[in-house]
Amino acid sequence: MFRRTILGLGLAIVLALPAAAQDRSITVASTTSTEQSGLFGDILPIFTRETGIQVRVVALGTGQALDVARRGDADVVFVHDRAAEQRFVQEGFGGPRHHVMYNDFVIVGPAADPARIAGTTDTVAALRRIAEARAPFVSRGDRSGTHAAELRLWQQAGIDPASGRGQWYREVGQGMGPALNTAAAQNAYILADRGTWLSFRNRQDLKIVVEGDARLFNQYGVMLVNPQRHPHVKAADGQRFIDWILSPAGQAAIAAYRINGEQLFFPNATQPEPTS
């Protein structure tokens, strides 16, 4: 039975399967970007066909996804905040951590570009200009990996965005898709992961204005929730999912997922994570 404590926390995806296959399932707590980009909808049926294991995804910001796993309400965590993932492992809630794939963040903004940042590859300088211009900026504000990355970038820029809260800086406390909708409605700047941006349809007057900075690198990792901490964790089937996503077949499925011919995620399970 699907754990009742999961209900209401996020969007659960349940693949349609024959009754026999529904007897075997795992729960993956993951980021909104893996779901809203369409990646999971594309690759999880491949895993299920190969293994007979149904995957239920609870799509939340990374911080919330890790909290779900800490409570033992997931078998696997698939997120994108390296520092938070390392704390999760150090606290004994799961691991080991494996990096799976990467893409990048971009700053999206209105075509009119009131902060005059279009074309720059210096994210920190761009954020300083946004703050100086008091140009509208939408933050996810949801403890997600994207939100954590955004706050790190503001810190590097020497800016406390909270000082603009209620004026030019708005925290929406929602996932990437809804936050992009808010930015589109308000003609505001926003930090987005490229995968969700490419799949986002309600762009209105928004476009990518800053990209290509090494600081925008976005790594995803996967971990098994510790069955010694939570004995009900489906460790064998959870590990089967991890082994598959790191295998040549899983990595090829990630690489093959595209929107309008553009690759959204780049598998790197066999490569060391870039340090730049």
Length of the chain: 276
Q: Which CATH class is domain 103-216?
A: alpha beta
**95-130: per-residue pLDDT in tens?**
999 999 999 999 999 999 999 999 999 999 999 999
226 vs 192: CA distance, rounded Å: 31
Signed CA dihedral, 30, 157, 173, 136: sign only: negative
Q: Give the mean pLDDT of 64-87.
A: 95
**pLDDT at res. 272:** 64
Q: Do domains 4-102+219-267 and 103-216 have the same CATH topology?
A: yes
Q: Specify whether domain 4-102+219-267 bears CATH 3.50.50.60.
A: no
**pLDDT at res. 207:** 96
Percent of the chain with pLDDT over 70: 90
Cβ neighbours around 114 below 10 Å, total: 16
**206-264: per-residue pLDDT in tens?**
999 999 999 999 999 999 999 999 999 999 999 999 999 999 999 999 999 999 999 99
**pLDDT at res. 20:** 45
Counting Cβ atoms within 10 Å, is residue 146 exposed (0-12), middle (13-18) or buried (19+)? buried
**16-26: per-residue pLDDT in tens?**
444 444 469 99
Q: Give the mean pLDDT of 138-152.
A: 94
pLDDT band at 134 (very low <50, low <70, confident <90, very high): very high
pLDDT band at 271 (very low <50, low <70, confident <90, very high): confident
212 vs 177: CA distance, rounded Å: 22
**pLDDT at res. 1:** 38
Q: From start to end of 75-183, where are the E strands?
A: 76-79, 98-110, 137-139, 169-171
126 vs 80: CA distance, rounded Å: 23
Q: Where are the domains of the chain?
A: 4-102+219-267, 103-216
Q: pTM for the whole thing?
A: 0.84
**4-62: per-residue pLDDT in tens?**
333 334 444 444 444 444 469 999 999 999 998 999 999 999 999 999 999 999 999 99
**pLDDT at res. 263:** 94
